[in-house]
Amino acid sequence: MNHLNQGALRRMLDEPGATGAAEAAHLAACGECRERADAVGQEAGGASALLAVAEAAVEPGVALLKLRRLAVEQPRRPAARWINGLRRRRGFRPAAALLVAVGLVGGVVATGAADGVIEQFEPHTFVPVSVNPANLGSVPDLSAFGSYKVAGEPRFSSVKSADAARAASGLRTLLSPSGTLPATVKGAPLYEAFTQAQGSFTFSAEKARLYAASRGKPLPAMPRGIDGTTISVTAGPGLLTIYGAPAGLSGAPAEGPTSSRGIHIPSLAIVQMASPRVVSDGASVKVLEDYITSLPGVPADLAAQIRGIGDPASALPVPVPTGQGSHDVDINGNKGLFVGDSTGLGAGVIWQHDGMLYAVVGTLNESDVVAVARSLA
Amino acid sequence: MEVELTTLKALPAPQAVEAAKLDGSGLPETFERLFLAEYARVVRIANRVLADGDEAEEVAQEVFLDFHRSHPADAEYAAPWLHRAAWHRALNMLRGNRRRLSREAAVAVPEVDFGLDPAGLHQASAQRERVREAMRRLPRKSAAVLALRYSGLSYAEVAGAMGVSVGQVGTLLRRAELRFKSEVKS
């Protein structure tokens, strides 16, 4: 019989009766294995001493009462928690808020909105704008230039069937035909429906002045008419269909792919939602765009890309991190935008059709992502 | 309540029947039995990672709450799911909260006998801090096998929680112990 390996020796130390008789007999007869077993035992003893911790004083009955209260008083919405995790990433919110504002304002500009005319914007195509995440730290928080107002927080509902998802969202649940999903996408999906979200942002010259004073640096003068201008955004309702959800959301809590920033990426997520609608009142939105893109901290190349969009009448700028590729793809006759690479580490496609915005993202390569997008029915 | 109602509609038939017999607490009887049987072990696993009983119990509460919302209480995989979720979540908490290290240094109550003199307590706190830091730097699989095995799970239970064969556990454990000692010394 061969000598016992380190793993077997380690187990025999803890569970001597669990290994076979042959292994036990070999250990008894083999001086070399006994010597190695002694070394394994010494190492284990040292680790055990280092790992010693004071045990928690557990009272399961008391803990159960607490859990009962939690279950009733603090219902959590898993996908909402997942999404909120993304929102809480340091620097994400202010940078993203400004980018979205710039993008949406850019879209409104192209509708031909004039001073005092309320105009509506809905994205129909998507234009990539390259952003370097490392440079976004300098982007000022939009709250320094006005006030957010949330008129309607989206309510999330976790459900486990397509029918329940449709009932919760009011949207027809799009799925790939059975058996056509990529082999790496396994298990049943979770569905997360959310209601319409409404919010607005109102520019304030006074807040901008205070911000400039606090920084001790001059800001470009806020053009007349911007003060008090409100951009209102409505998005949703919508539905997320998630395969390979993060730990705690579905199935066994397997360790799934995690991005470099520690965000767990589902193996596949399908997004469908009523297209966001943006309404602007007050100043010329062209003036708003020029003002926002001229603020200190907004990377010059990003501002130039926003301004340089050729057909912003119906185009929504989509931030694409440097290093990621992007190009147009056809999704059943609709012009979509693919973002990602071919490594399978993460990719997505976004498109619009008939007043609805769709996206497919996941830890898949381009061909799989696009195939899923085209197969939805 | 809207969420709870829609969730209830989507439950598999047996669980929906059980849910309809709630005792008013909001938790099915089968789930409560599972809770009472596994709670202490889940806390022990989390505590082995966090070295903080209160936070280990907090992790345990979250783990059970998540399981309750997504899985039938009588699922065959219930115990390994809970064990795995415990170390997974505890590690996430440990690695996401560096402030813990300084707090641990202040509150650590070591089992290792360093005596009660101030010098001994300081030594214990310093060692605890080094150990937690080492645990945080370990590969997840190594940290997991240490947390699971040293919380008292059998090799078969460790294998179930990690999704590996029983035969692999000894090797993983041996490797993790060596790596752990190396990290503590570094």
Tokens at residue A176, please?
């790939």
A324 vs A307: CA distance, rounded Å: 21
* Nearest neighbour of B140 by CB, restricted to A44, A60, A255: A255
Which spans in chain A are helix H? 6-14, 21-29, 31-50, 60-73, 78-88, 92-110, 162-169, 205-215, 285-293, 300-307, 366-375
Chain center to CA of A342: 20
Whether the CB of B78 is below 8 Å from some CB of chain A: the reply is no
- Would you state the pLDDT for residue A344? 60
B77 vs B75: CA distance, rounded Å: 5
Strand-pair category, A125-131 with A315-321? parallel
CB contact under 8 A, A49 and B89: no
Does position B107 have pLDDT exceeding 50, yes or no?
A: no
Burial class from Cβ neighbours inside 10 Å (0-12, 13-18, 19+) for residue B105 reads middle
CB contact under 8 A, B53 and A8: no
Question: Is the pTM of the predicted complex or chain greater than 0.90?
Answer: no
Contact residues on chain B for A15, CB-CB shorter than 8 A? 154-155
Contact residues on chain B for A170, CB-CB shorter than 8 A? none
Distance in Å, alpha carbon of B170 to nearest chain A alpha carbon: 4
CB contact under 8 A, A54 and B111: yes
CA-to-CA dists, residue A48 to A54, A238, A313, A358, angstroms: 13, 51, 66, 53
Burial class from Cβ neighbours inside 10 Å (0-12, 13-18, 19+) for residue A176 reads buried
Chain B residue with minimal CA distance to A163?
Answer: B10
Whether the complex's predicted ipTM is more than 0.90 is answered with: no
Report the run of H or E that residue B125 belongs to, with start and end: helix B118-137
- Would you state the pLDDT for residue B97? 60
Strand-pair category, A119-121 with A156-159? unpaired
Distance in Å, alpha carbon of A308 to nearest chain B alpha carbon: 40
pLDDT tier at B34, thresholds 50, 70, 90: very high
pLDDT tier at B18, thresholds 50, 70, 90: very low
pLDDT tier at B37, thresholds 50, 70, 90: very high
pLDDT tier at B148, thresholds 50, 70, 90: very high
- Would you state the pLDDT for residue B38? 95
B125 in Cβ contact with B98 (< 8 Å): no
- Would you state the pLDDT for residue B61? 93
Chain A residue with minimal CA distance to B27?
Answer: A68
Tokens at residue A86, please?
């993304």
What is the total residue count of chain A? 377
A225 in Cβ contact with A287 (< 8 Å): yes
pLDDT per residue as tens, chain A (377 positions): 688 888 889 999 898 877 778 888 888 889 899 999 998 998 888 888 888 877 888 889 889 988 888 887 655 444 334 444 433 433 333 334 444 444 444 343 333 333 333 444 556 678 888 877 777 666 777 777 888 787 777 788 888 888 888 888 888 888 888 778 888 888 888 888 888 888 888 888 888 888 777 777 777 878 877 888 888 878 888 899 988 765 444 333 444 444 333 445 578 999 999 887 777 677 666 677 778 888 877 888 888 887 777 554 456 778 787 777 889 999 998 888 998 865 666 788 998 888 788 999 888 888 899 999 999 88
B25 vs A65: CA distance, rounded Å: 9
B32 vs A120: CA distance, rounded Å: 53
- Would you state the pLDDT for residue B41? 95
- Would you state the pLDDT for residue B10? 33
CB contact under 8 A, B170 and A7: yes
- Would you state the pLDDT for residue A345? 66
Tokens at residue A70, please?
């939690």
- Would you state the pLDDT for residue B14? 39
Distance in Å, alpha carbon of A169 to nearest chain B alpha carbon: 11
Report the run of H or E that residue B57 belongs to, with start and end: helix B53-70
* Residues 6 or more apart whose Cβ sits within 8 Å of residue B144: B84, B87, B88, B91, B161, B162
Tokens at residue A249, please?
């959301």
A94 vs A91: CA distance, rounded Å: 6
Distance in Å, alpha carbon of B102 to nearest chain A alpha carbon: 16
Residues of chain B numbered 114-153 and touching chain A (CB < 8 Å): 127, 131, 140, 146, 149-150
* Nearest neighbour of B51 by CB, restricted to A53, A157, A159: A53
Contact residues on chain A for B61, CB-CB shorter than 8 A? 63, 66-67, 70
Contact residues on chain B for A168, CB-CB shorter than 8 A? 6
